[in-house]
Amino acid sequence: MTCLPTPPLADLLDSAHVVRIPMRTRFRGLAVRESVLVHGPAGWGEFGPFPEYADVEAARWLAAAIEAAWSGHPAPVREVVPVNATVPALGADQVPEVLARFPGTTTAKVKVAEAGQSIEDDVARVAAARDVLGASGRIRVDANGAWDVDQALDAIEALARYDLEYVEQPCASVDELASVRRHLARSGRDVRIAADESIRRAEDPELVRRHGAADVMVVKVAPLGGVRAAVEVIERVGLPAVVSSAIDTSVGITAGVALAASLPDLPFACGLGTVALLDGDVVTDSALPEGGVLRAGRTLHVDPALIEQYAAPTDRTTWWTDRLTRCHAVLAGRS
């Protein structure tokens, strides 16, 4: 596994800016997105592990930020990266408005299996996305591991009429994913299964391939420790890859685009248009898709005025710098 040098903690803290950006729509239970931006000799990196992640796991996110800011990213092999729209678990009547934020995109990822909602809510949301995209659009759904096997099979049966590109992480465990995939094959239901959490939060991502648990792998730069580390995981697992984001600012999205642009094969649109879900950004030219694509090799123009505008309050800044310090200790111990 790639292990890049870890800069001194003082250098990280001297360059760190904690930002707090409101979201247009509540997503993943978040109304605001907080993260730490760091600046090094190669540019900017973003450290924003979700609050529930323990330090050992969150340290991978810091490694990704350090890679971006201190080492830079591999050269791209393509100029543009196709992206999908992301539809949160909201009412069907709001779907057209959300999709309008992603002009030119022909693929939508629709969140399903939200706590407190029903399969009828999911069906209505997916149906609304199909109405907007038309018959030629592609729709994928993401359950974030919320279903058991029987629930997943019932839900897929109800949703498959809308011609799903794939179902992302229908169940939590690799064994459950494999069971769903086998049941679908036996029933003649041609729906792909994608693994997300079973890749990015796994001690052994290759377990997905060995158990025949997925057709597609979803990868995110930060949880895997950086672009180079993610490339290694993709090569080891050997499944078609979709590069997605962790609800990043344009700084983190740029790292995701660098990964997608470095892959020799990119058969699916990537989940890298999520800056559209934020009600603000830290750059003057946000990484928003144009014509359904993001361009590789963009130069980031982080604006000090925007960093100041979205600066987190003192208590949150302290919380994040303490967390960065602990994660730095994890990385320093590994090296």
List, as residue ranges, the binding site.
Answer: 142, 168, 196
Q: Which of 328, 332, 333 is nearest to 36 (CA)?
A: 328
The HSE-up count of residue 308 (CA atoms within 13 Å, CB side) is: 3
Radius of gyration of the chain (CA): 19
Token representation of residue 150: 């029987």
| Active-site residue set | 111, 220
Assign residue 121 a region: left if phi > 0, alpha if psi is -120 to 50, beta otherwise? Answer: alpha
Q: End-to-end CA distance of the chain: give it in Å, rounded.
A: 12
Cα dist. 332→13, 33, 52, 186 in Å?
15, 27, 22, 49
Q: What are phi and psi of 53, to 5 degrees?
A: -75, 130
Nearest to 177 by CA among 234, 218, 215: 215
Give the 3-state secondary structure percentages of the chain, helix then strand then coil, rounded to 5.
Answer: 40, 20, 35
Contact 73, 258 (CB under 8 A): yes
CA-wise closest residue to 270 among 80, 135, 118, 129:
80
Task: Give the other-Cβ count within 10 Å of 211's Cβ.
Answer: 17
> Closest Cα to residue 275, out of 298, 262, 266, 227?
298
Q: Which residues are annotated as a binding site for Mg(2+)?
A: 142, 168, 196
> For the chain, where are the alpha helices, taking DSSP H only?
9-15, 55-66, 95-99, 119-133, 149-159, 174-187, 197-200, 207-210, 221-224, 227-237, 250-262, 304-309, 314-334
